[in-house]
Each structure stands twice: as C-alpha cells, then as structure tokens.
Amino acid sequence: MRARMVQRIAAQGVADAQVLAALGAVERHRFVDSALVNQAYEDTSLPIGLGQTISKPSVVARMVELLLGGARDAQGRLGRVLEIGTGCGYQAAVLSRVATEVYSIERLRGLHEKAQGNLRPLRLANVHLLFGDGMAGFAKGAPYAGIIAAAGGEAVPAAWIEQLAPGGRIVAPSQMPGGTQALVVLEKTAGGLQRSVLEAVHFVPLKSGIA
C-alpha cells in the first residue's frame, strides 16, 4: 500500500528520488489513530487530535521536494532543518531521511507528547523535538538550510528569516488577499529574499504561544 502511495505521488509530478525513497520508508500508519489505519496510505489529511491534522502525503512530498531545491551538501542532503508544527511527527520522520539534522517545534503539548511517543520506537538520532512557540523559531539551532511550516499566517515571521542560512529556503503556506492560502517559497540569496507564490493549499492557521 505504501509503495502504491509513492507511485501515485510520483505520477502527480514529485520527481526527487530522495523524497520518494523517504515516503516509501516511513510507515505513515504508525502516525495515525488505530481507527484510521486503513486510510493511512490514501492521499488525504486525517485528524490527529486537538483540532489538528496530518497533512496529505502528496503535500508533504511537494513541500519537502521544494525544500530540497535549496542548498545541499556533497551527498545531496539538506543540512539542518527547522520544522514548525511537529503534529504527530510524520513529516519529521520523512525529513530525517533527507536532512542531516531536524529540529521540530510544536506549540501544543498534547501533540508534542504524541510525536515523542510515535518517534521513540524509530530511534532517529538526528531528530530533536521541541515544545515551544514556533513563530519564534529556534535560534539555538540556527542557521538552518531549510525551514518548513505546517501552518500559515499572513506573513512569514521575521525570526524564521533571521535563522535561515544564506542559500536556504523557507517553504510555508501563506495567507493571500481574499483569505485564501498559497504555498510560498522564500529563498535567501546574496541579493536579498526571493519569493515565489505557488499553488493553493489549506493548512491550519499559524498561532503564537503554547497550549
């Protein structure tokens, strides 16, 4: 079922071999509630509690592929990555296979603890789970080769831009005029920030503080 999911995502246009391999390796059914296991490999978002969802596999693949379009090391891997919104931990597990190090921050304690429980059996030494306000980023881990967000606001927080390494990318949903959301890529170049607005998406709103 997981292999078929990867084939469908490849057919939709995701071409990066590292991304497809990561999706094929990470068992998505381990990150959803037992009642939803039979839907784990469908291309759909699923509830994970506290009003949050696990993103569609195709959206995870698309965003990680965009992140990998930035600066990579000699082995073709991303360096250190910051994930805003750990959720159930699925995307962090995917990122662990394409980045040297992953810092993932979650503002909801219940989800932070759920992600810890989901990821513990995988023993991913390069994933660090943090409980805190994602809008502030995580300065101690900076600079980041990539920052990826699972929630969208009207503007990308200044802290994320400050914590991004030269040549790095931020991939995040952003609110557009009229209230819709679109996927936005910000790239830090020598000449300043380059902003690309891509397809429409639907993510939970970006919020500050912890709960």
- Active site members: 55
4, containing H or E segment: helix 2-11
β-pair partners for 147: 82, 170
Q: What dihedral angle (degrees, nearest 10) is formed by the CA atoms of 4, 99, 91, 203?
A: -110
Indicate the SS3 state at residue 85. coil
Q: How far apart are CA 173 and CA 182, in angstroms?
A: 5
**Pseudo-torsion of CA 10, 176, 147, 166, nearest 10°?**
110
Residue 174 one-letter amino acid: S
- Tokens (6 digits) for 105: 């921050």
122-to-5, 54, 80 alpha-carbon distances in Å: 21, 18, 19
Residue 114 one-letter amino acid? K
Q: CA Rg, the chain, in Å? A: 16
Q: Report the relative pairing of strands 181-189 and 192-201 from DSSP bridges.
A: antiparallel
